Structure 1
C-alpha cells in the first residue's frame, strides 16, 4: 500500500493512502461521487475497503442519453433495458436524492409501471430537481409529481399528467420546462400562477394542447428567462402582436427571451401605424425562431424587440417562409432600422435567405461598436449565385466595431 508522508517540524509520519481516502468526511465523498458519471461513481468501491459502499451516498442519479449510449456501446442488448436495476439502486441509496434525471432515448424501452414507481418513491423522499424526457411516445405520469412541494427544478418532455384535486402549486419551484406536455383537467396557466418564485419558464409544443394565458406569466416578478411557443397562447388569433409584446415588457427582470413564431396567426394591427417601442431594459439574450422576413407583422415584431432592448448582447434569428419563393416585400426595414439607436450587440447568429430586409437588419447590427461576430447560416439559399451576391453586399457594409467578423456558412 502506497504511503503518504506528512511533515511537522523535523518529524514525519507515514499514513497509508487507504486510510486517507477512507477517512474523508461523508459530505466530501458525496461531492466527489456526485461529479462522476453514474457507472464510474459505483466503481469507486474498488478504491479502498472503506469505499466499498460509499456510492450509496449518491445524491444525484443521472440516467441521460450519454448513460444509455455508454451501455449500448458496451455491446449489451439494452433495447429492453431492465428497469429493475434502477429500482434496486434507489433502494440501496442512503443519502437524500436531490436530483434525478431520466432522459429515455428511442432505443430504450422501459416499463411505464417502473417509471411510475420511481416517481412515487422520489416524491416521498422530497426530490428537489426532477427531469423526465421521453423521446418515442407520450408517457403518462402519476399525479404524485404534483405533490412534491420541495421541487425547485422540474423538466418534463413528451408526458401527460394531471394534478391532484388538492394541488396548490409549487411554492419553491425556480425553473419549469415543459416540452410537448399535456396537463389533464388543468390549464397550464394554473400551474404557472401557483409557482410564484419561478425564474426560468419554458413552454414549447407545436401541437397546441395546453393554452397559456400571458397575463398569468407576467405576474411572475422573478422571471429572468422565458422560452415560449407563441402558438400556445390563449386566444392568439384574437390578439394583436403589439399587445403580446407589451405584456412581456411588464416582466421587470427578464434577461433572456426565446420566442417561436411557428403556426402563429395574429390579429392584424389596425391600419399601417407602426408600434410604439416596447421597453426591455434588462434583456441581454433574444432568440426569435421561424421569422418570415416577407411578413409585415413579423417584421414589426423584430423591429419592436430590437428597438426596445438597448442592452441586448446576444441575438439569434431563425428565418422561415411560408412559400418557397417569397412574395414581393410589403414594406422595407431600411427606415425602421435607422431608428434602433446605439445597439450593444456582441454576438449574432442568423439563418436567412438574403432578402433585402434581412440585409438591412444586418446593416443596423454592424452599427454596434461592441460587435464581435455575426454568424450567418445560408442553408435557406439554394442558389450559389445568391450566396455570392449576399457575400458581396455584406463586404460593402460599414462596421462600427474594428473587430467585428462576419462569417457566411
Structure 2
C-alpha cells in the first residue's frame, strides 16, 4: 500500500509488543541481526527480557568470530540490555572461569527470575558465589557444575523450582540449603554427587508446597528401613514423584510400615535404579504404589545388581497381597530382563488397572532376540482388566 509520500514502511511501524513477540521467537544471534532491517529496528533486540546463550549460539560465534572470543562477545551483547533480564539460559562449556564470573555478576543485577546453567565437561566448573545474590530467582536449573553454597548463605527466598542434575554439591549441608529455599513447588535432585551430612526427614517436611519431587534416597538420613514411607507421609500435596534407589540399602528387619492415609493427588510415579532381584525393595515399592489410588503414569528403570551379574529372582514377600483397583493408564519398564518379579509386577498392573492403555517394555540391551521373543509371548498371554490395554515392546 502506498501513501502520497510513497510506500509505507510496515516493518518500522510495528508496535513494540508485536516486535517483542517476534524477537522472543528467534535465536539470540538472529534477533541481533534484525538490526539491519531498518534504522528503527537497530536496537529493538535490546528489549528482550529472555536471553538464550546455548550451544547453537556459541557454534555461530565459532563460525563467524573464531574460538577465543565467546565470553567477550556475550558480555558486550548483554551490556546493551538496559531493562531487566528475567530469564537467562547459559551454556558454560566453552567459557573460561573469568567469563563465567562476569556473566553471572551481570545477570545478578538484572532482576533475574529464571536461570539455567549447563556445563557438560569435566572437571566441573565451580559456580561463582554471585549466583547467591540473585534473591529474586523463582526458577533455578543447574546441570554438570560444582554448586557450593557458602556457609551461612541466605538461600533463595522466592524460589519456586530447583533442579540440580549431575551436579557436584559442596557446602556440606544439602538439607540445610534446601530449607533455606522455603517455597519450592518443584525439587529435582538427579544424579548429584554429595558426601556431606544426610538430608533429614524434618528438612524435607518443611517444604509444604512441594508438588513435584525427584530425590536420590541414598542422601536421605537412614533412621530406619521404613524412611521411604516417612518421607511420603511428610508430603501430602505431591502430584509427581521420582525416587532413585541407587546405593540405597534396605534391611529385612521390622514389619513393613503402613501408610495411615492414601495420596489421591499423586498422578505420576517414577522409580529409578530398582533391583528386581531384591524382594525386600520390591515389597516396599509395591506397598507405596498401592497407596496412590489415582496414579495414572508409572515408570520403572531397572538396574542390574553389582554383586550378581545374573541375579536370581526372589519372590516378593506377602504373596496374598490384594489387587486394589487403580487408575493407571500408562506403565513403562526399562531394562527389562524377564525376571520372575518383573513378570509379577506386570501381571499385577494388568489385573488391577481397568483404565490401562499401554505397558511399554524396553528390553535390556544384553537380552538376546530369542529371549525377547520368549518373554514377549509369555507376557502377551496375561489376563487384562482393561479391554484396550496394549503391551508394546521397544528399545
Q: TM-score, normalised by structure 2?
A: 0.89
Inter-CA distance 113–71: structure 2 relative to 1 (3 Å threshold): closer
Deviations for 1:152-205, whole angstroms, at most 9, x for unmatched residues? 011122333444566333221000112243454451222211222101101123
Inter-CA distance 166–395: structure 2 relative to 1 (3 Å threshold): closer
Corresponding residue number in structure 1 for 2:380: 395
Deviations for 1:281-322, whole angstroms, at most 9, x for unmatched residues? 211111111111111221023202210111111111011121
* Equivalent-residue separation in structure 1 for 2:220 and 2:6 (angstroms): 65
1:304 equivalent to 2:277? Answer no
Name the SS for the 2:189 alignment partner: strand
Corresponding residue number in structure 2 for 1:276: 258
Inter-CA distance 333–48: structure 2 relative to 1 (3 Å threshold): farther
Name the SS for the 1:208 alignment partner: coil
Corresponding residue number in structure 1 for 2:87: 99
Relative to structure 2, which stretch is displaced further, 48-57 or 185-194?
185-194
Q: Map 1:193-272 to 2 at 5 A.
A: 193-205=179-191, 207-210=193-196, 211-234=198-221, 236=222, 238-240=223-225, 242-266=226-250, 268-271=251-254
Inter-CA distance 319–195: structure 2 relative to 1 (3 Å threshold): same
Name the SS for the 1:154 alignment partner: strand
Corresponding residue number in structure 1 for 2:33: 43
Question: How far has the Cα of 1:394 moved from its partner?
Answer: 1.4
The number of equivalent residue pairs is: 387
Match of 1:122 among 107, 115, 120: 107
Corresponding residue number in structure 2 for 1:370: 355
1:329 equivalent to 2:317? Answer no
Corresponding residue number in structure 1 for 2:73: 85
Corresponding residue number in structure 1 for 2:392: 407
Question: How far has the Cα of 1:269 moved from its partner?
Answer: 4.0
Deviations for 1:119-159, whole angstroms, at most 9, x for unmatched residues? 11111222111111111132112212112110001112233
1:158 equivalent to 2:144? Answer yes
Question: How far has the Cα of 1:390 moved from its partner?
Answer: 1.1
Match of 2:345 among 354, 358, 361: 361
Deviations for 1:45-101, whole angstroms, at most 9, x for unmatched residues? 2333311210111111112234345666x59754x5521010101101122111111
Q: Map 1:316-355 to 2 at 5 A.
A: 316-322=299-305, 323-331=308-316, 335-336=320-321, 339-351=322-334, 352-355=336-339
Query: 2:167 touches 2:192 (CA, 8 Å); kept in 1?
Result: no
Unaligned runs of 5+ in 1: 6-12
Relative to structure 2, which stretch is displaced further, 324-333 or 367-376?
324-333
* Equivalent-residue separation in structure 2 for 1:297 and 1:15 (angstroms): 82
Query: 1:228 touches 1:259 (CA, 8 Å); kept in 2?
Result: yes
Deviations for 1:87-120, whole angstroms, at most 9, x for unmatched residues? 1011011221111111245xxx311111011111
Deviations for 1:201-246, whole angstroms, at most 9, x for unmatched residues? 0112353334423321221111111111112223x3x531x22222
Query: 2:240 touches 2:268 (CA, 8 Å); kept in 1?
Result: yes
Query: 1:208 touches 1:231 (CA, 8 Å); kept in 2?
Result: no
Name the SS for the 1:131 alignment partner: strand
Name the SS for the 1:156 alignment partner: strand
Query: 1:206 touches 1:231 (CA, 8 Å); kept in 2?
Result: no
Inter-CA distance 252–275: structure 2 relative to 1 (3 Å threshold): closer
Query: 1:206 touches 1:262 (CA, 8 Å); kept in 2?
Result: no
Inter-CA distance 30–191: structure 2 relative to 1 (3 Å threshold): farther
Kindly report the root-mean-square deviation, in angstroms, between the aligned alpha carbons of the 2 structures. 2.6
Name the SS for the 1:83 alignment partner: helix
* Equivalent-residue separation in structure 2 for 1:231 and 1:14 (angstroms): 74
Query: 1:374 touches 1:406 (CA, 8 Å); kept in 2?
Result: yes
Query: 1:182 touches 1:209 (CA, 8 Å); kept in 2?
Result: no
Corresponding residue number in structure 1 for 2:21: 31
Question: How far has the Cα of 1:16 moved from its partner?
Answer: 4.9
